Structure 1
Amino acid sequence: MKHIFQKGKNQNKPTLLLLHGTGGTEEDLLPLAKEIDPEANVLSVRGNISENGMPRFFKRLAEGVFDEEDLIYRTKELFEFLDEAAEKYDFDRENIIAVGYSNGANIAASLLFHHQDALSGAILHHPMVPRRGINLPDLTGKNIFIAAGINDPICPSQESEELKSLLENAGADVQLHWENRGHQLTMGEVAAAKKWYQTIKK
């Protein structure tokens, strides 16, 4: 997978896995990583799917309707890439925190839904529920931050609440942060994510 790896100053810190939104690239969220933790490793990945020339992490059938078969396949592909990247760049595979926006947040949530050991935690900006009707792995000890917009036309508030509930029922510790905005990534939610990150056990 096309990606950027930046070695951090403190190898005891998590590796931040950056996952862009639809039409983004592996460059998009680099400033976000510096804001959250300038000392951490950064692994920023570009989605392998192209939708009308716009990079994505998995296919969709329509706005808000995921191609479930492709989602499962691409989630496994990303999971295996993380194994390879940890070996190649010599970082702790068991200490990866995903930072995803929109489509990137959805693939990060899918990693949590499908693989118990994929991530140690996640910052999810405007995610949706990746799949319904499946049993989640035991997510005890995972710290997850969800940023949501009260007026988000793509991801309604009940979607955010449902995702929080599903993750908590699997044992995760989830903080849901609301912004009085739409689907855009705001400085307010980035600041809230940074504050949350500083409180979780590294």
Structure 2
Amino acid sequence: MNSSFTYEVRVPSNYDTDQKYPVIFALHGMGSDEQDMLQLMEPMQADFIIVAVRGSIVQGGGYAYFQIKSIGNPVRELFDTSAQGLQQLIQHLSSEYAIDPARRYIAGFSQGAIMAMTLSLIMGDAIKGIAAMSGYIPQFVKDEYPIQPGTALSVFISHGDQDHLFPLQLGEDNADYFREHISNVTYVLYPGGHHVTAELYDQLQHWLRSDAELTAGDPKGLIA
């Protein structure tokens, strides 16, 4: 598959192609790259396949999935292209690795959270859950994209109460919007700004492991 995205895949140390593993597609923020997300998700690698995807647009000293006109207003053409390309990459890698199609997760921070929420709304049952940290849902996604979240979709949304980049109202709006469509929504408001705190990360790990365990019927006991 020819993809515009550079990505890195990490598998559990006991990786066995005869088994099926939950997967986390990890998406970074603007000006960052896939290595930041690999570092963030490293503790999850014992039980999950980790796919960290680099945005295709050079942005400062890092990369981006799209450019923006203003906060909440992405450049539509670039956004649409990334959304389509990420869908294709997720489907392709799901056939290349021993990925459980019932346990595909997307975790994203900032711009990565924006893409994660968008993909979860349009990919139906192809996505089991998302962890969206400090993002927003573009209005054109709500108005014009084919919204079809999976019936079993699980959503973890977090937002810092001192976020200087994305106002707190955006996080609350995200949670409210998902609650209109699905029942399994966890909203975490944490003390901090536009970053991932240690406490938030502990909550994120627990949520991912718990949801993957419940979905699989706990074949491995992902929660210690």
TM over 0.5: yes
TM-score using structure 1 length: 0.90
Q: Does 1:195 align with 2:199?
A: no
2:30 is matched with which residue: 22, 28, 37? 22
In structure 2, distance between residues paired with 1:47 and 1:171 = 28
Mean alpha-carbon deviation: is it higher for 51-60 or for 119-128? 51-60
Summarize the alignment of residues 71-150 of structure 1 with structure 2, pairs less than 5 Å apart: 71-130=79-138, 131-134=141-144, 136-150=147-161
SS at match of 2:46: coil
Mean alpha-carbon deviation: is it higher for 178-187 or for 2-11? 2-11
Cα displacement (A) at 1:123 = 1.0
5+ unaligned residues in a row in structure 2: which ranges?
216-224
* 1:183 aligned residue: 194
TM-score using structure 2 length: 0.82
| Change beyond 3 A, Cα 1:84–1:164 | same
SS at match of 2:88: helix
Q: Does 1:165 align with 2:165?
A: no
| Change beyond 3 A, Cα 1:13–1:84 | closer
State the structure with more CA Rg: 2
Q: Does 1:59 align with 2:64?
A: no
* 1:3 aligned residue: 7
Cα displacement (A) at 1:168 = 1.9
5+ unaligned residues in a row in structure 1: which ranges?
none
SS at match of 2:187: strand
* 2:53 aligned residue: 45
Cα displacement (A) at 1:59 = 2.1
Contact 2:65 2:82 in 1 (8 A): yes
Cα displacement (A) at 1:36 = 3.9
SS at match of 1:132: helix
Number of residue pairs the alignment of both structures matches: 202
SS at match of 1:18: strand
Contact 2:20 2:99 in 1 (8 A): no
Cα displacement (A) at 1:122 = 0.8
Give the residue type in structure 2 aligned to 1:51: Q
